[in-house]
Amino acid sequence: DTAVSQTPKYLVTQMGNDKSIKCEQNLGHDTMYWYKQDSKKFLKIMFSYNNKELIINETVPNRFSPKSPDKAHLNLHINSLELGDSAVYFCASSPDSGQGPALHFGNGTRLTVT
């Protein structure tokens, strides 16, 4: 299937732990993103990478570190997890060319910090 896939789907962990979320796309897109969706369903961009290069880094704590080993993968590592990090994290990708373009989203990772 052509898609954006994220793992894991659910992540429950305690405050202070370090965790990672993986994302892969096989759409051949050059740009990948991480978005955070809070409890009120508001989607906010965190990072974007184009062909392994960091392009957008919104006001996100340094505890969040994205890593792109190649243009098909964008992982998110979170250090010293806090209660406020609980949210759904969506990975997305988009092509470089074309009008728009539209982002294609993964199914999200629901992170719960206790």
Query: Which stretches of the chain bind another protein, using CB under 8 A?
Result: 4, 31, 33, 40-45, 48, 50, 55-56, 90, 94, 99-108
Shortest distance, position 32 Cβ to another protein, whole Å: 12
Burial (0-12, 13-18, 19+ Cβ within 10 Å), 105: middle
Shortest distance, position 3 Cβ to another protein, whole Å: 10
Q: Closer to another protein at the Cβ: 26 or 42?
A: 42
Q: Closer to another protein at the Cβ: 58 or 82?
A: 58
Gap between the Cα atoms of 6 and 20, Å rounded: 11
What's the sign of the alpha-carbon dihedral 113, 11, 47, 16? Answer: positive
Shortest distance, position 27 Cβ to another protein, whole Å: 13
Alpha helices of 25-91 — where are they, by DSSP H? none
Q: Closer to another protein at the Cβ: 14 or 39?
A: 39
CB atoms inside a 10 Å sphere around CB 46 = 18
Q: Closer to another protein at the Cβ: 84 or 98?
A: 98
For residue 89, what are the β-bridge partners? Answer: 36, 109
Shortest distance, position 16 Cβ to another protein, whole Å: 29
